[in-house]
Structure 1
Amino acid sequence: MSTINKTFLRVLLAIACCIALAFSLLPQAEAAMRADVVTGKVTLNGQVIDNKNAKYPLLSYSNITYFPMTYQLSRFMGVETDWNNAAKSLNITAGGAQSAYVAEPGKAPKGSVSVTLPSYRISVNGALIDNKEATYPIFNYNGVTYFPLTFRYAYESFGWGYQWDAENGLRIDTTSAPARVPTEPNTGNAALDKALTILNSKYATGGKYHGMLEGGGKKTGFDAALDVSSTPDVTTVKFTAEPFPFFDNGVSYFANYYAVKGGFASDEQISISGNSPELGDVGYPIYAEVAVWAENSYIGKCFLDCQFAGARSKHITDAKRVSSSGSTETWELTVTFASDGFTGYTAELSIDTAKSIVTQIVIRTANYTLTMTPA
């Protein structure tokens, strides 16, 4: 066989391989899901949607209605989006200002349409979601993001009214949803607000600490961690320590912040976890073995309480900057926190404003001192 023929065959083989590779990729590119154009009755805030004549029609996927997050319809629903171009991420929140309904006329297709999953990161109420694994994922159609009107999102996460029956179809009422809760501290003191913002940011991201608990004739060092996990409904902050110094057979504290109540700007619900020799680690108090009402147990809760987003900054009844040098400063805070028969604590907050970091937190009750230093 001539050299020219051999070269020609090699070229043909290379082309064939490229074609085969391209076809092997088609299923992924076309894994494009299918969604149906909604034909049933849907009422949003009292407005019956004319889906037949909508430029961006309501769609249905796995028997769940999706609404297009166009500018007009999102404002009508009180939903806001925050696109971070640098991070290529989208955050979706409810409770924003609502506007009048504005129709976006067009001719909707019939039957099913092809929809695709976004490649960017998506958060709902600030909680990153695993959209690829979601049962009802957020998807794109015709260049617009579509959001699922599940009971969990509409009612549990956003606080919307949610009804469905065969005669009236799906009815969503967002007008009764709680207004967006401010998350920035507002003490009236700009310098203090800046310090609290640094503290709140540290709390919300969690991290490791070196701790020291003094009181009751003891001085115990330990390693600790705040682990923060979020869903669109609730953010849970778990406080663990090794060895655990706050009560016998203790394992951890948990603080839950619910989205419909304002997330981090709301009062948390704290629970504790104890370890029973018979049952192992359990997520509730073992009252027979854990002195849950003791002051050393309370001071651990104080550390979990020590963040002041939004209206929580009103829990600070007194504050003064006790030292300042360059970008480092220390604030002494008097905080109301009623739990276990106790009413409050003082917190000494040390920060570096140039680096926007917390360098130390010292919490004091009547007989105990807890020092927490970020590791």
Structure 2
Amino acid sequence: MLIYLLLPLVTLYCLFLSRATIVKNNNMYNGEMFISRNRLTLFLWAAILLGLAAFKGVSVGTDYPMYYNFFLNKSYNDIEYGISFIYDVSIKYNNFLVFSFFIYFIFLFFIFQGIKKNCPNYLISILMFIFTYTYFTSYNQLRQMIAVSIIFCFANYLVSNKKLIKIKYLVAVLTALLFHNSAIFMFSLFFIPKKKFSIRIVVPLFLMTIVLYFIPEFKNQIGNIIVKLSGSYMEKYSTNLDSFFEVNKEKGLLQLIPVIIQMVIVSLSLRFPKNQIGLNINSQLYNFSTNLVVINLCLYSLAGIEAIDRLQIYFSCFNIYFYSILIHLLLNNKKQFYGQIFIIFIVTFWILYYVLRLITNISGVVPYSFFN
């Protein structure tokens, strides 16, 4: 587990050095504090994360052995075309490492392109990429995470005021469908408001989410509706529908507490800080990402329905945009003391939540091994 602890620690150390350098040189980039947009930073971290993912042992990640068996038995004909093509190439060279390398290269390429285009601070974004477990989810759900990364990368098209640019998002969804069928649900993002939700709406939604979280009957009713609507999933999981569409009894108060803390953070962000004119941020994407994070947290009312959990993966990746821009706003807020307190609260929470996930071994990533 040591390697997983070193990743965020090294990132935090790089952040400290970056901030110290800015302060020492009195370089605030025209008054905007703590911008770190060095392409070399992106390249180095992409290489590190690609190496860890591509060269990991086949037992690291709960679904990873399945993908290895597909390679050994050449039994991948029924999966999406994009994945099948990568399998064909790896079979041609008789090397599963080819498959692993291409899968994670594509995933990280789109994630880092999204960070490059839309995030004011690369290091903060990479840190949240690790802390929010988006990176480690790819150790388990390989196909879906490629689709997630494509949606993440091109989500900025949705907030554009130009209709022709929004059409590019349609192309992005169609591309994501080459890797996982669940991307079809991402057409729904067209209907998400681009204006940030009001706190008067968000707080009642969060309270309702907490109540519904403890009502299994409600979850099971939703599960039955999903069964009727999703023929492909019903066919795929026909031998274990209860597990996929009904409530997971293992999710209780311990799993809800981190959700409540995230609700507190999002609620506070709706009041403080205010968006500032002149900062190097995409305010529209920040507002849109805030809404998607709100929806993601509200979906916890259905926690345990595996079909909903899969949908949440798409929404949860927008935590990277939300927190990286929020922290940048806090760093540049006039009320620096309150901003720093808020940042400490956010980072402390995500550190503890990250460690908790490692201890409980979410996605089966512990222990880590090379090649084995």
TM-score category, normalised to shorter length: under 0.3
The TM-score with structure 2 as length reference comes to 0.25
Higher normalized contact order (CA 8 Å, seq sep 6+, divided by chain length): 2
The TM-score with structure 1 as length reference comes to 0.25
